């Protein structure tokens, strides 16, 4: 019985480790076209601008069809809202995997959360503001890529060079009193 138990343990451990390493095998290549077998971290960083671009293009089509003011009237903005909802769900696995991979570095986790929040905020701001010119709108929604790129660059730098924890001074051992 004992030889079978150790063999079973090894097989189960291998399965668990391999499933963790390939947690993103089922991610849609639509959001991570170049990171199909990569890490969740890399997929997440690729998915941020990729998914934003897809929803931005849909909003642009709505603006072309209905104009700046009509793009949000009635159900005219439904396609963009559907895109946003879809990608909030599709990015969940890569985001969670990225957080797990970065869990040893608090600054890196904080950077990933900031990037995710920036992405969510940017998607919510795809709607044209009232009185906004078409040129102003295009500049505003395109300007987000600079923020994405900066945060992604910072995140990659933190991953490559994790902050060195402050070295704790070693406690000085107490000397025992000499016994006469």
Gap between the Cα atoms of 142 and 20, Å rounded: 36
Please give the angle made by the CA atoms of 160, 165 and 166, to the nearest 5 degrees.
145
Question: Using an 8 Å Cβ cutoff, are 148 and 44 in contact?
Answer: no
pLDDT digits (tens, 9 = 90+) for 133-175: 999 999 999 999 999 999 999 999 988 876 644 334 455 556 5
Gap between the Cα atoms of 151 and 49, Å rounded: 11
Q: What does pTM read for this prediction?
A: 0.75
Side-chain-side CA neighbours of residue 153 (13 Å): 6
Percentage of residues in the chain having pLDDT higher than 70: 72
| Total H helices, total E strands in the chain | 7, 0
pLDDT at 17: 37
131: left (phi over 0), alpha (psi -120 to 50) or beta: left
Higher-confidence residue of 6 and 62: namely 62
pLDDT digits (tens, 9 = 90+) for 81-103: 999 999 999 999 999 999 999 99
């Amino acid at each position: 019985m004992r030889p079978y138990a150790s063999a079973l343990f090894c097989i189960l451990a291998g399965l668990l480790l391999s499933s963790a390493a390939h947690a993103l095998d089922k991610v849609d290549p639509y959001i991570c076209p170049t990171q199909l077998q990569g890490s969740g971290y890399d997929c997440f960083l690729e998915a941020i601008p990729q998914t934003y671009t897809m929803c931005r293009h849909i909003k642009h089509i709505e603006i072309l069809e209905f104009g700046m003011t009509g793009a949000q009237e009635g159900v005219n903005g439904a396609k963009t809202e559907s895109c946003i909802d879809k990608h909030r769900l599709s990015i969940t696995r890569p985001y969670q995997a990225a957080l797990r991979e970065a869990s040893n570095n608090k600054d890196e986790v904080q950077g990933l959360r900031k990037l995710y929040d920036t992405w969510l905020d940017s998607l919510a701001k795809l709607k044209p503001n009232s009185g906004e010119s078409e040129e102003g709108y295009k500049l505003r929604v395109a300007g987000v890529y600079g923020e994405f790129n900066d945060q992604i660059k910072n995140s990659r730098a933190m991953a490559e060079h994790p902050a060195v924890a402050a070295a704790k001074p070693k406690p000085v051992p107490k000397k025992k009193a000499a016994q006469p």
